[in-house]
Amino acid sequence: MSKVIYIKANAKPEGASRTFRISDSFVESYRESHPNDEIIVLDLYKENMGFLTEEDVALHNVKPGEGKNYPVLKYAYQFLEADKFIISAPFWNLSFPAILKAYLDYVTVSGITFKYTSQGPVGLCEGKKAIHFVTRGGAYSQEPLSDFELGDRYLRTLLGFLGIRDFTTFAREDMDRSDTNVELVVSDAIKEAQELAKNF
């Protein structure tokens, strides 16, 4: 049995997010094909995720297993204990919603999800896998706009730093172009995501 964290980062109301429509369908299909897996849904806006304070940062260098009773470290330990991550975050202002960065700051903790050694930092989350669902208004996966894509690139880099190298990007682009049939794109993406979920 695997433990899965479904991380949602969008302030839009239920049903209004194109990204969530696709990722929710992925999760529904995953539940059907992996009935014994545990799925934890983390809607970051509903979690009231705030930014780290000075006191919080002081707790971000712990000995392995230490600090499990500190509320600020609960996300890091939860992250460490998970096997798979489904991240759903739209492309906002060349990156992703700031609340997702706040969450990543909570889970990137020396002594829990990575450690420092004489050879440098080492990720402690090896063997895990992640998928990032994202919709973008323009075509940012190809030149000339690819240099401006900082969200998925950051996620891939940070999770790699933590040891997670099995990382898949599920993107749909040109969603804000006047000639894009958005409903058709979303519908096709949902079908593809449902199939992909069966082997995730």
SS3 per-residue string spanning the chain: CCEEEEEECCCCCCCCCHHHHHHHHHHHHHHHHCCCCEEEEEECCCCCCCCCCHHHHHCCECCCCCCCCCHHHHHHHHHHHCCEEEEECCCECCECCHHHHHHHHHHCCECCCEEEECCEEEECCCCCEEEEEEECCCCCCCCCHHHHCCHHHHHHHHHHHCCCCEEEEEEECCCCCCCCCHHHHHHHHHHHHHHHHCCC
Place of tokens 């040891």: 163
Q: How many CB atoms lie within 10 A of CB 182?
A: 14
19 marked ligand binding residue = no
31 marked ligand binding residue = no
157 marked ligand binding residue = no
108 marked ligand binding residue = no
What's the one-letter identity of residue 139?
A
Which residue ranges make up the annotated binding site? 135-138
Which residue ranges make up the annotated binding site for FMN? 135-138
